[in-house]
Structure 1
Amino acid sequence: MIEREFVARKKLEFQIQEFISESLKGVGLSHSKLQRTPLGEKIIIYASRPGLIIGGGGTNIKKLTKQLKKKCGLENPQIEISEVENVNLVSAVVAERIGSALEKFGTMRFKGVGHKAMADAQAAGARGIEILISGKIPSARARTWRFYQGYLKKSGDVAVSQVDVAYVAAKLKSGIVGIKVSIMPPNVKLPDEINFVDTPMVEELSAPEAEAAVEEIKSKIVDEPKEAAEKKKKPRKKKVAENENQ
């Protein structure tokens, strides 16, 4: 039962993500999350242009809510829009920008578009970026162009879990052009990185200086008990009456 519930939940999450990615075009969509709440399902959409998702007077978001109820079978979906902080570090947004630029300017400026996307990602602090553009560019024969800069993991757990990868298809007059963007963000901790700790420098003393330092330490050790004894309060003497009772 637990396995079936887990599979059903993941299947629903995948259906919602696919529907949102197909419905929201040109809004700089990064990704979406599904959370269970007592009031119903809460869907968080991360995008670079949240105003386009909401629409004038909330018309677009109301329409999206109705479509989610109908197609995904959600009873009371609550949609929350969150703005992406740095769009140049999100592979989905970068890939969408490249695709829209190719659709707008054509295939003759694809190299400038690729190099600009790399420069923006490096300026934002990305450790590495790779862009693959496949299709009939610029001639009638299909081929793949690769743009890369920085350091990017290709294998291992870091490449699977830490590298942000996105795929976008641009529709041109010459045909479909596939775009793949891989970005390694600046906060990735690699297992083979070594951090060096700065230690204070120790100066070696000559023989006379060492003897003088030892004598100074000995004198301090001897003087400390004397000072402590002097600080102790002396017992008060009782006053003797001048005139004793006869």
Structure 2
Amino acid sequence: MGRKVNPIGFRLGGIKTWESRWFAERNYTQQLHEDIKIRSTVFNRLSNAGISHVVISRSGDDLNVTVYTAKPGVVIGKGGATVDALRTELENMTGKKVTLNIEEVRQPELDAQLVADSIAEQISKRVSYKRAMKQAVQRAMRAGAKGIKIRVSGLVGGPSSMSRSIVEIDGRVPLQTIRADIDYAQVHAYTPGGRIGVKVWIYKGDVLPEAETSGQAATTELVGSR
């Protein structure tokens, strides 16, 4: 089962939560498409800012949009001009008051979206896919990842080659363990030979329940006292 579904969706309600945090008794479809437009606008306007993900929450007619980025300075802009322009555009698009928050991703090497974007960008610039994959794996493991898996699929050898999938893996990536904190992203790289898919799984460790964690701490303290 863990190999057949999105690793993030598989863990929703367990160790992961939703990126759209609101409830609608009516107008659900309208608000859903509004969220899609907001994310599309943010990613298009800030394509060079290393955007990881966008969290949207609603309270009445107010929208709270939190942008997670590896380059907060690029998002904010000189004197806050870029973020103000983006807020105004979102307010004009939705007709609602928008509160825009910027959060920094402190370890981009452990963010699957940013790693996949980096690999896709290098492939688009005709950098060797093997080199891009190996460097991404090494950086993630040095940053503290428990395991990482990267799959690149398509005409990786050029327009005249055969379509195939190349996998680079280090450590362990337990997809079927629900308490395993696995970040996942899928990105497309556009090349003269066609579109190449890049998938990244990053395993950061297990998320244990508080009761189990406190029980382990009590057991450790008891053994230490003996």
Of 115, 119, 127, 1:94 maps to 115
Equivalence for 1:111: 130
Distance in 2 between residues matched to 1:38 and 1:168, nearest whole Å: 34
Equivalence for 2:38: 16
Please tell me whether the aligned partners of residues 91 and 183 of structure 1 are also in contact (alpha carbons under 8 angstroms). yes
Equivalence for 1:77: 98
1:26 aligned to 2:45?
no
Equivalence for 1:47: 69
Matches within 5 A, 1:80-229: 80-104=101-125, 106=126, 109-139=128-158, 140-158=161-179, 162-186=181-205, 188-189=207-208, 199=223
Which structure has the highest strand share of the two? 2
The count of corresponding residues between Structure 1 and Structure 2 is 195
Distance in 2 between residues matched to 1:200 and 1:27, nearest whole Å: 49
Please tell me whether the aligned partners of residues 125 and 186 of structure 1 are also in contact (alpha carbons under 8 angstroms). no
Distance in 1 between residues matched to 2:182 and 2:104, nearest whole Å: 21
Equivalence for 1:4: 26
Amino acid of the structure 1 residue aligned with 2:35: E
1:63 aligned to 2:85?
yes
Query: Identity over aligned residues, as a percent?
Result: 25
Relative to structure 1, the CA distance from residue 94 to residue 74 in structure 2 (aligned partners, 3 Å threshold; closer, same or farther) is farther
**Structure 2 alignment gaps of length 5 or more:** 1-22, 210-215
User: Between Structure 1 and Structure 2, whose CA radius of gyration is higher?
Assistant: 1
Relative to structure 1, the CA distance from residue 74 to residue 200 in structure 2 (aligned partners, 3 Å threshold; closer, same or farther) is same
Distance in 2 between residues matched to 1:7 and 1:19, nearest whole Å: 18
Q: Give the superposition deviation at 1:179.
A: 0.7
Distance in 2 between residues matched to 1:157 and 1:5, nearest whole Å: 33
Relative to structure 1, the CA distance from residue 74 to residue 32 in structure 2 (aligned partners, 3 Å threshold; closer, same or farther) is farther
State the SS of the aligned residue for 1:41.
strand
Amino acid of the structure 1 residue aligned with 2:183: D
Please tell me whether the aligned partners of residues 26 and 96 of structure 1 are also in contact (alpha carbons under 8 angstroms). no
Tell me the TM-score normalized by structure 1. 0.68
57-66 vs 171-180, which moves further: 57-66
Amino acid of the structure 2 residue aligned with 1:28: G
Distance in 2 between residues matched to 1:179 and 1:200, nearest whole Å: 47
Relative to structure 1, the CA distance from residue 143 to residue 66 in structure 2 (aligned partners, 3 Å threshold; closer, same or farther) is same
Q: Deviations over 1:140-163 (max 9, x none)?
A: 22111111111112225346xx31
Q: Give the superposition deviation at 1:9.
A: 5.0
Relative to structure 1, the CA distance from residue 172 to residue 200 in structure 2 (aligned partners, 3 Å threshold; closer, same or farther) is closer
Q: Give the superposition deviation at 1:63.
A: 2.6
Amino acid of the structure 2 residue aligned with 1:126: A
State the SS of the aligned residue for 2:118.
helix
